[in-house]
Amino acid sequence: MTQIIQIDIEKIEDREEIKKLEGAARIIKSGGTVVFPTETVYGLGANGLDSASVKKIFEAKGRPSDNPMILHISDMEMLSEIALKISTKAKMLIERFWPGPLTMVFEKSDKVPYEATGGLDTVAVRMPSHPAALKLISLSGLPIAAPSANISGRPSPTKSRHVVEDLDGKVDMILSGDDSKIGLESTVIDLTEDNPVLLRPGSITVKELEEVLGEIKVDKSISRKVNPGEKVRSPGMKYRHYAPKGEMILVKGDIERVIYTIKRILDDAVGKGVKAVALIPEEFSNMFEGVKALNMGSLNSPEEVMARLYSCLRECDEYGAEIIAAPYFQNEEEFMAVNNRLSKAAGHNIIQAD
C-alpha cells in the first residue's frame, strides 16, 4: 500500500515537514521507493547505489532496463563518490547551473551499479534545486536514482495527481507537493569526450551552455528516431516517450499554414465521429470551433509552453482523444526541448503543412 504524504514546500524547514522527509529517507535507505517533487518533473526515487533498489524502479514504471537513470545528489561529496574525471568544463557548468535543471554525464565509479546506468560505464548526475528534493537526498545520505514518476512511455508528471494516477499501489510513498515549475526533464550534456555533447534538450538551452563552454555538439538522436538495438547515453533518447494514448500528428511549416492544416485534419476526424484534440498556441486558440482545443501557451514564451506541455498531453487522455494534432515549432533553437518531447510523443509522426 502506498503512503501519500502531503508536504508544504513553503514550510519545508519546519520540524513537521522535516519529519515527513525523514520518513521518506528511511524508506530510501531501507531499499524502498519514494516519489518526490522536483523543479523539472516528479521523480520516482530509490537508492542509486543498490541494484535491488534500482530494479524496483523498473518494476514500478515498466521501464526497459537498458534505459539509463539520473542519480540525484545534494552535495559535491556525493558527486566525487559516483563520478570519475570531473573536468574543468564540468566545474564551470556546476558553478553556473547547479543546483538546477542540468544533468551531466561522467565516467562512473565502481560504486554505481550497472542497473542504474543501462549497462554503461557512464553515469548521469544532477543536483536539483527543489528544496524538498535536496532535503530528501541529504537526509538519505545517498545518491537517489530517479527517472520521471510515470508509467514508462506516458507523459511525465508535473502534478502530484498525475503520479497518483500512474503509481498509486506501485511505490512505497508519494510525497505530494507543488506543481513542477519547469515542466520538462533536465537538459543532459555528456562530458566524457573532449567536445561536450548535448544528449537531451531542456530548459537550459544550447546558447546558455555555449556561453560557458564555447561550441558544443548536438546529438543527432534529438531530432531523429533511435534505431532498435542502438545504445543510448541518456534517458529519453531511445523509446517512444511522453506519449498520449491517441494517435498524435505534428505539423511543420509556417505557423498560419500549420494551424490551417491542423484544423482541416481534425475537422475531418470530428466529421467521422472521432474524438479529436488540437494543441494550439494561445494566439490561435479562438480559431477552433467544434474541436476541443487546449492552450499550449504563447509563441513568445517557450517556458510557458514547456510548463504546460505534459498537462496538455494528460488532458488529451482524460478526454479520450483518439487523434491529437500539434505544431512542430518553427523557432527550433528556442523550442528545441518542446519539439524534442513532441516528436517523441508522436513517434516522429511529422507532416508538412498544406
pLDDT, tens only, 209-240: 999 999 999 999 897 666 555 555 666 555 55
Q: Do 177 and 37 touch, CB atoms closer than 8 A?
A: yes
Mean local confidence (pLDDT), 314-338: 96
Query: How crowded is residue 101: how many other Cβ atoms within 10 Å of its Cβ?
Result: 23
Q: What is the CATH number of domain 247-352?
A: 3.40.50.11030
Q: What is the pTM of this model?
A: 0.94
CA distance readout (Å), 161 to 20, 21, 73, 102, 247? 19, 19, 25, 25, 24
Q: What is the pLDDT of residue 64?
A: 77
Q: Residue 54 carries which side chain, given as an amino acid letter?
A: V
Q: Which three cell numbers stand for residue 154?
A: 506516458
Q: Which pLDDT belongs to residue 285?
A: 86
Measured CA to CA, the distance from residue 177 to residue 275 in angstroms comes to 33
- pLDDT per residue over 139-150, tens digit each? 999 999 999 999
Residue ranges, comma separated, of all CATH 3.40.50.11030 domains in the chain are 247-352
Residue type, 9: I
Helix %, strand %, coil % for the chain, to 5?
35, 20, 45
DSSP-derived secondary structure letter, 347 = T
pLDDT at 340 (0 to 100)? 96
**CATH architecture, domain 3-222:** Alpha-Beta Complex (3.90)
Those residues whose C-beta lies under 8 Å from the C-beta of residue 155, and which sit 6 or more positions away, are 162, 242, 243, 244, 309, 310, 313, 314, 317, 345
pLDDT at 223: 78
* Residue 37: all three cell numbers together: 517533487
In percent, the amount of the chain with pLDDT more than 90 equals 89
- Which pLDDT score, from 0 to 100, does residue 227 have? 58
What DSSP element (H or E) covers 58?
helix 51-61
Q: Specify the domain boundaries for CATH 3.90.870.10 within the chain.
A: 3-222
